[in-house]
Amino acid sequence: MATFELDGSRLLKVKIDGETFKALNGSMVAYDGDMSFKRQSVGGQGGMKGAFKRKLTGESLTLMDVSGKGVVYIANMAMEINLVALADEKIWVEASNLVALEAKLKTDQKFNGLRGASSGQGLFTTTVEGRGTVALLSDGPAIGLEVDQGMPLNVDPQAYIAHKGRLQQDFVTDVTWRTAIGQSSGESFQLRFQGQGTVYIQPAERAAGIDV
């Protein structure tokens, strides 16, 4: 089985001995051993339906299959890399924050609706499901915030990375959140999570979406 471990906070070291893992296309920065790199075909990453979704919206998450024996080093734009272990569960993650995962994990896309485009998220969020390790990118160290029943968590969508657990995600507006501190002249968008689970955020914001 592929072994994921961090070499510092911005470099992922993956050891394989005849196995395959998936990584963001172009994220390999070095490797030792005998390796092959194959860009996924249309049938990968959600199948034809997933490929159509990405083509329709202009969102792209191109993964490559990495196979062989040795060690592969993965990095992207000097961003922080965070490892999340899945135990027969599903994680929802922004496509721009997914850098590597074990090959046995199943991926697909979930429609976010127009709220995704308005809030700076994409129209689709990638889902990863099963048992194994997922590597996520973040601008600064990722922070996992626990959500408990009866205690909703509100998150700036531009700081959102991923979430897992039994969580309901809603899209809300709040005229007092940013306006109170003088950051916006209109309504601001928030993602509200309710239930039981973990929400991962980064201590930085993406480029803003539509401001109303």
Close Cβ partners of 6 (under 8 Å, ≥ 6 residues apart): 12, 13, 81, 83
β-strand pairing of 143-147 with 160-174: unpaired
Say what the pLDDT of residue 181 is.
54
**pLDDT, tens digit only, all 212 positions of the chain:** 899 999 999 999 999 999 999 999 999 999 999 999 998 744 344 444 554 444 444 445 789 999 999 999 999 999 999 999 999 999 999 988 999 999 999 998 876 654 444 444 455 689 999 999 999 999 999 999 999 999 999 999 889 999 999 999 988 876 565 555 555 544 477 899 999 999 999 998 765 443 33
Contact 75, 14 (CB under 8 A): no
Say what the pLDDT of residue 54 is.
47
Strand partners for 155: 191
What the chain holds in terms of domains, given with CATH numbers, is: 3-201 (3.60.160.10)
Contact 101, 4 (CB under 8 A): no
Instruction: Calculate the alpha carbon distances from 21 to 18, 40, 48, 83 in Å.
Output: 10, 12, 21, 14
Report the largest interatomic distance among the alpha carbons of the chain, rounded to a whole angstrom.
57
Q: How far apart are CA 183 and CA 181, in angstroms?
A: 6
Say what the pLDDT of residue 177 is.
52
Q: How far apart are CA 113 and CA 14, in angstroms?
A: 35
Helices (H) and strands (E) in the chain, counts: 2, 12
Q: How far apart are CA 81 and CA 38, in angstroms?
A: 22
Say what the pLDDT of residue 113 is.
54
Instruction: Calculate the alpha carbon distances from 189 to 69, 110, 146 in Å.
Output: 46, 20, 21
